[in-house]
Amino acid sequence: MNNIISLFSRANKTQPFEHLVAPHVSGLYKQAYQYMGNASDADDLLQDVLLELFNKQEQMSQADNLPAWLNRCLFHRFVDRCRSRKRAPECDNIDDINVSDDRRNMEPEQYCLNRQIIAGLQNLNPIQRAVVSLHDIGGFSLPELADIVDMPLGTLKSHLHRARKQLKKNLQLQPFDGQARQSV
């Protein structure tokens, strides 16, 4: 009976758009930044997603796990964007990454670390980038991740394994430790 009442009250209760999304918009921006690799593209992606969310307020208010549901929307929009570009933006040289706008907001060490990790992420395909970013940086569990990217757990683990292997290789190839750079 309590469940019925709570379901009924939830169905009739509509929260304002900003009230629903505001607690999660920061997390969405960070995730979009990891996907796209720079603030400008992250901003574009997030604007698209927020407009989509505005039109899905009813579904959003009924989501059991709102952060995961929002990230699913973000993931799908990101994949759509990659498909529309025919091929995911890849980067062979970390100097090609457009993160110069972020330089002034960070310590040099932090900026350098970010560049290395973003370069590593950008060299992954969109699915691998999303999986490793959501799991290893975003902290989503594998079951949550399976829900977000809509994949069986086994497939997801394979993607995660391959993405980690590639990312580890990239990070080792481009040491970002300050002492290592000074010694070169």
Partner 1 sequence: MKCHEIAESSDEFLDDKLQAMQRQKIQQHLASCTVCSATLAEHNEYRKQLSQFSVPEPAAGYYALLLRQARVNGEQQKQRHVARRYRLQGFAAAAVLACGILAAFNLGQSGLPSDASAEQFAQQTELVSEEITVLINVPADMLGARLALEFPEELIPHGIEHGQQLAWQLDLKKGANAITLPVLTSGSFAHGKKMLVSAQIEYNNKSKLFQLPVEFFSPHKARYDLVPRHRAHATYFI
Residues that bind partner 1 (CB under 8 A): 17-18, 21-22, 25-26, 29-30, 33-34, 39, 43, 46-47, 50-51, 53-55, 102, 105-106, 110, 113-114, 117, 136-137, 164, 167-168, 171, 176
Residue 179 Cβ vs partner 1, minimum distance, rounded to whole Å: 14
- Pick 6 or 110: Cβ nearer partner 1: 110
E strand or H helix at 165? helix 153-173
Query: Residue 72 and residue 70: Cα distance in Å, rounded?
Result: 5
Task: Tell the smallest beta-carbon distance from residue 119 to partner 1 (Å).
Answer: 12
Helices 66-84 & 39-54 angle (0-180, nearest 10): 120
Q: Which residues contact 177 (CB under 8 A, 6 or more apart)?
A: none
* Residue 36 CA: distances (Å) to CA of 30, 31, 78, 104, 116: 10, 9, 8, 19, 14
Nearer to partner 1, 125 or 174 (CB): 174
Q: Output the CA–CA distances (angstroms, integers) from residue 67 to 28, 75, 156, in the order listed.
A: 9, 12, 19
3 vs 16, beta carbon nearer partner 1:
16
Q: Which is nearer to partner 1, 25 or 91 (CB)?
A: 25
Amino acid found at 114: N
Min dist CB 63 to partner 1, Å, is: 17
Q: How many Å apart are CA 48 and CA 59, to the nearest integer?
A: 17
CB of 68 to partner 1, least distance (A): 19
Nearer to partner 1, 6 or 23 (CB): 23
Please work out, in degrees rounded to the nearest 5, the angle formed at the alpha carbon of residue 75 by the alpha carbons of 53 and 166. 165
CB 88, min distance to partner 1, A: 20
